[in-house]
Amino acid sequence: MLKILLLFVVLIAGIIFGPLLAGHQGYVLIQTDDWDIETSVTSLVIMFVLLQLALLLIGWSYRRFIGTGSKAYSWFSFRKRNRARKQTSMALMKLAEGDFKEVEKLMSRNADYAEQPVVNYLLAAEAAQQRGDEFRVQQHLERAAELADTNQLPVDITRVRILLAQNENHAARTGVDELLNQVPRHPEVLRLAEVAYTRTAAWQALLDIIPSMQKIALHTDDELEQLRQKAYIGIMGQKMSENGCDGLKNWWNAQPRKVHHDNALRVVLAEHLIECNDPDTAQTIILDGIKRQYDERLILLLPRLKNTDANVIMKVLNTLIKQHGPTPLLNSTLGQIAMQQGKWAQAEEAFRNALKQRPDVHDFAWLADALDKQKKSEESAKVRKDALLMTLKKDSVIFEEPKKSK
C-alpha cells in the first residue's frame, strides 16, 4: 500500500510540475562499450515509474496465482477431512452392527485426513482381525505405527490384543512383558497380561502383577484372591510335573506363612500328595489345616488317605464333633474311617447318625455294607430298599414333566 501511495504522489507531482519543467528537462547520458543512451531527466523518471508499475503487476499476479493454488489445496483438504469425518461416523455405526468388513473399509479410507488417523488405522486393524485377514491387519498396524511417531503405546497395546485374539499367546506374552516395562500399572496392559500369562501358564509372572492390579483396583479383593489362588495352584501343578513330590514339598516349605494358612491351597497340595502316594505328608497337611481352621474341603479328603494312622484321624474327628456338633459330614467321614479299620459297629453308629440328619445314597450304601459285615442281613436289605426308594423318588422328581397350564 505504501508503494502505491508513493506512485500516486509521484504521478500527481508530475502532472503539477511537469509543465513547469518542460523547458528545463535536463540531459542524461548512459554510455557503455557498445551503446550510448541519451535521454532527458523527465523521460528517465517516467520510465522508472513504468518499471515500478510493471514490477508491482508481476508481484500481484504471482501472489494471486500462489493464493489460488493454496485455496484450491485447502478446499480439497477440507473436502477430504469432511469425508473422513463422515466415514468414521458411519464406521462406528457399522461396528455396532458387527459388520467388520465395512468397518475396516470406512475406517481406512481417507484415514490420513481423519481427526485421529492412528485411531482409525487401529480400529481398521481390529476389524480386519475379526475377518481373519492377517495381511490387512499388519498393513494397518504398520501405517498406524508410522503416524504414531513417538507415541507407540496405543499401537503396541492393539498389537497384543490382536495377537491374543489370534491365539498367538507366546508372541502376545513377549509383547506384554515389553509393555509392562514401560507402563507397569496401565489398566489395559494388566488385563492383557492376565490373559497372556494365564494362557501360557506363566503363573509366577501372574503373581508378580497382582500387587499392581490391587493398587489400581483393577479387580475386587475377592477376585484378586481367586486369581492369586489360581496362580499358586498352577505353580503347584508345575512343581509336581517338573520335580515330583519332593519338588512340590520343597516349594511348599519355602513359602511364607500367609500361603501356609490358606486352606484352599492346602486342599490342592494334599490332593497332589495323595496322587503321588505320600499319604503321611498329606495327612499332616490336612490335620494341621483342620486344627487351625475348620474346613469341610479338608475333611472330605480324609477318607482318601490310605495306610496312615487312622486312630489319629478318628481322634481328630471326635474332637471336631465335640466342638462343632455331630454334623452329617463329620459322622459320615468318621464312619468311612471306621470301615477302613474294620470297626463295623462304630461305622454303623456313625452312618446312622449321619442319616438321621439328612438322607444320602452313599451313606445308605456304606451302612448296608457295615450291617452285612455284622451278619445283619435283614437290616441290610431294608437299608438298601430304603436307598432304592429314595433314589427312585429323586429321579421321578427330576424327570417329572411340568404340568401344562390350562
pLDDT of 397: 44
Statement: residue 101 has pLDDT above 70: yes
pLDDT at 78: 58
Q: Given this model, what pLDDT does residue 406 score?
A: 43
pLDDT above 50: residue 247: yes
For residue 313, the cross-strand partners are none
Say what angle helices 153-165 and 187-199 make with each other, to 10 degrees: 30
Q: What is the pLDDT of residues 7-35, one digit of tens each?
A: 666 666 665 566 555 555 566 667 776 77
Q: Cβ distance 354 to 331 under 8 Å?
A: yes
pLDDT band at 220 (very low <50, low <70, confident <90, very high): very high
Per cent of the chain over pLDDT 90 is 41
* Residue written as grid cell 462343632: 324
Least confident of 82-86, 202-206, 358-362: 82-86
pLDDT of residue 161: 93
- Long-range Cβ pairs for the range 172-176 (8 Å, 24+): 172/196, 172/199, 173/197, 173/200, 173/202
Non-local CB neighbours of 291 within 8 Å, separated by 6+ positions? 316
- Checking if the pLDDT of 396 tops 80, the result is no
Please provide residue 201's backbone torsions phi and psi, each rounded to the nearest 5 degrees.
60, 35
**Which band of pLDDT confidence, cut at 50, 70 and 90, is reported for residue 94?**
confident
Give the pLDDT score at 90: 76
Which residues have C-beta within 8 Å of that of residue 25, sequence separation ≥ 6? 40, 41, 42, 43
Q: C-alpha distances in angstroms, 167 versus 145, 219, 261?
A: 22, 24, 37
Q: Which of 36-40, 71-75, 179-183 has the highest mean pLDDT?
A: 179-183
Give the per-residue pLDDT at 39: 72
Higher pLDDT, 396 or 160: 160
Q: Is the Cβ–Cβ distance between 380 and 372 less than 8 Å?
A: yes
CA 291 to CA 64: how far, in whole Å? 95
List Cα–Cα distances, 33 to 27, 36, 38, 40, 170, in angstroms: 20, 8, 14, 21, 87
Question: What CA–CA distance (Å, rounded) separates 171 from 219?
Answer: 25
395: pLDDT strictly greater than 70? no
Q: What is the pLDDT of residue 172?
A: 94
CB 389 within 8 A of CB 397: no
Segment 137-150, tens digit of pLDDT: 888 899 888 888 88
pLDDT for residue 66 is more than 80: no
Q: Note the pLDDT of residue 331.
A: 93
Angle at 231 between CA 225 and CA 234, to 5 degrees: 140
Task: Give the confidence band of 405 by pLDDT, cuts at 50, 70, 90.
Answer: very low
Summarised one tens digit per residue, pLDDT across range 305-348 is: 987 788 899 999 999 999 988 899 999 999 999 998 899 999 99
Q: pLDDT above 70 covers what percent of the chain?
A: 82
Per-residue model confidence as pLDDT tens digits over 350-374: 999 999 988 888 998 999 999 999 9
For residue 37, what are the β-bridge partners?
A: 30
Average pLDDT score over the chain: 83
* For residues 253-260, average pLDDT: 90
Task: Identify the residue whose cell numbers are 452392527.
Answer: 97
State the pLDDT at residue 110. Answer: 72
Q: Long-range contacts for 276-282 (Cβ within 8 Å, ≥24 apart)?
A: 276/240, 276/244, 276/245, 276/248, 277/245, 278/245, 278/249, 279/305, 279/306, 279/307, 279/308, 280/308, 281/245, 281/249
Model confidence at 131: pLDDT above 90: no
